[in-house]
Amino acid sequence: MTLLSTRGLSKHFDGLQAVTDVDFDLNEGEVRALIGPNGAGKTTLVGMICGRIPPSSGTVQFDNADITALPAHKRILRGMAYTFQITSVFARLPAAENVALAARRRLQGDAVEEAVDDALNRVGLLDRRDEEAGNLSYGHQRLLEIAMGLVQHPRLLILDEPTQGLADSEIDAFKALIRELSSEATILLIEHNMSVVMETADRVTVLNFGEVLAEGTPQEIHENDAVQAAYLGTG
């Protein structure tokens, strides 16, 4: 079943065409990686999908409903979570309270604390639950953002550069987490780390100059001459 689809999705900023006529389909239960060179339009596309950026033209459908005009907070209520949309890490609050703020969108009472500890444990931050978020390293703040997404049990979890700032051991743990989550949620992953893409994604979409350059399995994308030339740098 198609969970998310866009048709003719475009965005221009003061004459700059950031995204052009993107048709995109994401099946339920899939892990999809979105890759491309800097400035390819990845974050703009995802911003339109999650409601942070209004499109200049085109449509977005989620769970068979047209959500093009819905604001971001209503998309969250429908089961869409985006690490930079649902979270804004509060530096002076403990890590656990940051996650609890997200959990209270759907839970109450004792269920909140149980869900918070589960989410922190899954991203490897349970031992830091009482630390102020602002004292965490950049990489750990990214993991905290992911915990804030997980605690809402979204149908679609959108992660924008989640491994940036992580140590190699933490990246390995992140790959395992994505494999685990793939049975619970559909995942859209913007990622530059190609080992993460190759090891976790079912399919890959490549953007270049705001347009879809290629789609396919990680192996197909790796062997695509146009992708090699535009992005992987070996063409």
Q: What is the pLDDT of residue 235?
A: 41
| Among candidate residues 58, 70, 54, the one with its CA nearest the CA of residue 9 | 58
Which residues form the domain of 199? 2-78+186-232
Residue 125 maps to a domain: no
**Any idea which residue has 């002076």 for tokens?**
92
To the nearest 10°, report the CA torsion of 47, 49, 50, 54: 60
Burial class (CB in 10 A: 0-12, 13-18, 19+), 1: exposed
79-112 exposure pattern, b = at least 16 Cβ within 10 A, e = fewer: bbbbbbbbbeeeeeebbbebbbbbbbeebeeeeb
Residue 216 maps to a domain: yes
Q: What is the pLDDT of residue 128?
A: 97
Helix segments in the chain, DSSP class H: 42-50, 72-77, 95-103, 110-122, 138-150, 168-181, 194-200, 218-222, 225-227
| Spatial separation of the C-alpha atoms in residues 22 and 200, rounded to whole Å | 23
Low-confidence stretches of the chain (pLDDT < 50) are: 85-87, 234-235
Q: What residues have CB less than 8 Å from 76, skipping those under 6 apart?
A: 85, 86, 105, 152, 154
SS3 98: helix
**Any idea which residue has 């429908």 for tokens?**
78
- Express each pLDDT in 93-145 by its tens digit: 999 999 999 999 888 999 999 999 999 999 999 999 999 999 999 889 989 99
Q: What 8-state DSSP symbol labels residue 85?
A: T
Residue 171 maps to a domain: no
Residue 228 maps to a domain: yes
Structural domains of the chain, count: 1
| CATH code (residue 16) | 3.40.50.300
| Spatial separation of the C-alpha atoms in residues 163 and 7, rounded to whole Å | 29
Query: Could you give phi then psi for residue 140, rounded to 5 degrees?
Result: -70, -30
pTM of the model: 0.91
Q: What 8-state DSSP symbol labels residue 183?
A: T
With beta carbons less than 8 A apart as the criterion, state whether 11 and 56 touch: yes
Look up residue 141 and give its amino acid: Q
Residue 64 maps to a domain: yes
Q: What is the pLDDT of residue 96?
A: 98
Q: What is the pLDDT of residue 233?
A: 59
Residue 29 maps to a domain: yes
Q: What is the pLDDT of residue 232?
A: 62
